[in-house]
Amino acid sequence: MNIVVCVKQVPDTATERKLRPDDKTIDREAAEGVINEICEYAVEEALRLKEAHGGEVTVLTMGPSKATDTIRKALAMGADKAVHLVDDALHGSDGLQTSYALAQVLKKIGFDVVILGSESTDARMGTLAAMLAERLDAPQLSLANKVEIDGSTIRIQRLTDYGFDRVEASLPAVVSVVEKINEPRYPSFKGIMAAKKKPVETLSVADAEIDAAKVGLASAATEVVDFAVAPPRAAGTIVKDEGDGGVKVAEFLASKKFV
């Protein structure tokens, strides 16, 4: 089975993250780049599918050259090889453009299953899996907390507010996973050492037959108009219980439309 897992390098959430004042895109130099946490769960699920069904796990990422670290991390966990889409022309691409660019690569390299994390910690769109599925004309199985493959049928449990849905489709398909799905493994010593020797194919926009006019900040469908630093948290309201504490708390919650 040809399993492709999409991973993204994001600014470390433990550090202060910034937007660039010049073009209002994420400042990827300001913070250390790390693998998006949910992507680790996607890699783990891809590895488990490979262990159960055989085949090969390919890591796919779109990002600047320093995203190589994130690729190596996924390879160290056990993926077989990687494709890195890297081109200055991609800078500032929004979700729609990213889905177009990645879909072009996926059409080129082929797949039985594409697995993604449900969202990234930087842009937090949470829509890439759906967009990719549409562009690839493949079923989308999103927010999975369980994935099973049986022949050419794929079944997932989709996490919902009320429990879960069982969703079934035929392969090839696009799956997004949530954190509850598994516990990602740590890279082993041999895994890290082997990762350094695994093949990483670098593709430019031209290599992937991506129309450069359709990607990048200039042609993005969405625009960041303005941004501001989040205001410091205001002091909370302290309710002093003088026999009517419960009522006051309830009134406060009602005023904020919590109850």
Partner 1 sequence: MDFSLPESARAVRDGIGEICARYDMDYWQRCEAEKRWPEEVWEELAKGGWLGLAVPEEYGGGGQGLLELTVATETLSAGGSAGGSAFTYVLTPGFGALTLTRHGSEWQRREILPRLAAGTMETCFALTEPDAGSNALAISTSARRDGDDFLIKGQKIWITGVQRAEWMLLVTRTIPAAEARPRTNGLTVFLVNVPEAVAAGTLSYQAIPKMGANTTPSNMVFLDDVRVPADRVVGRVDQGAAVLWDILNPERILLGASSVGGAEVALRVACDYARERVVFGRPIGANQAVAFPLAQVKAKIELARLMLYKAAWLFDNREPCGTEANIGKLTAAQAAWEAADQAFQVHGGMAYSLEYPVARLLTDARIGKVAPVTEELLLNYLATQVLGLPRGF
Chain length of the chain: 259
| The two three-digit tokens of residue 223, written as one number | 């625009």
Interaction mask 54-93, partner 1, x per CB under 8 A: ----------------------x-----------------
CA-to-CA distance for 98 and 93, rounded, in angstroms?
Answer: 6
Taking residue 225's Cβ as centre, other Cβ atoms within 10 Å add up to: 6
CA-to-CA distance for 57 and 100, rounded, in angstroms?
Answer: 21
* Alpha-carbon 68 to chain mean position: 16
Of 79 and 141, CB closest to partner 1: 79
Segment near partner 1 (CB under 8 A); pick from 46-54, 132-140, 191-199, 225-233:
191-199
16 in contact with partner 1 (CB under 8 A): no
Q: What is the 3-state secondary structure (H, E, C) of 147-163?
A: EEEECCEEEEEEEECCE
Segment near partner 1 (CB under 8 A); pick from 48-56, 79-87, 160-168, 181-189:
181-189
Nearest C-alpha neighbor of 1 from the set 155, 114, 131, 166: 114
Q: Residue 88 Cβ, how far from partner 1 at the closest point, in Å? A: 29
Identified binder of partner 1 from the candidate list 20, 81, 185, 248, rule CB under 8 A: 185
Longest CA–CA separation in the chain, Å: 72
Of 79 and 144, CB closest to partner 1: 79
188 in contact with partner 1 (CB under 8 A): yes
Identified binder of partner 1 from the candidate list 30, 52, 193, 254, rule CB under 8 A: 193
Q: Residue 188 Cβ, how far from partner 1 at the closest point, in Å? A: 4
Of 17 and 185, CB closest to partner 1: 185
Provide Rg for the chain, Cα atoms: 21
Answer whether 154's CB lies under 8 Å from 174's CB. Answer: no
- In DSSP terms, 10 is beta-bridged to 34
Identified binder of partner 1 from the candidate list 63, 92, 187, 216, rule CB under 8 A: 187
Of 73 and 158, CB closest to partner 1: 73
Of 161 and 183, CB closest to partner 1: 183
Strand duo 2-6 + 9-11: pairing: unpaired
Identified binder of partner 1 from the candidate list 124, 196, 240, 256, rule CB under 8 A: 196
Specify the DSSP element, H or E, that contains 251: helix 245-255
Collect all residues with Cβ–Cβ distance below 8 Å to 209 and sequence separation of at least 6: 104, 108
Interaction mask 139-178, partner 1, x per CB under 8 A: ----------------------------------------
Q: By the criterion CB under 8 A, which residues form the site for partner 1?
A: 76, 185-193, 196
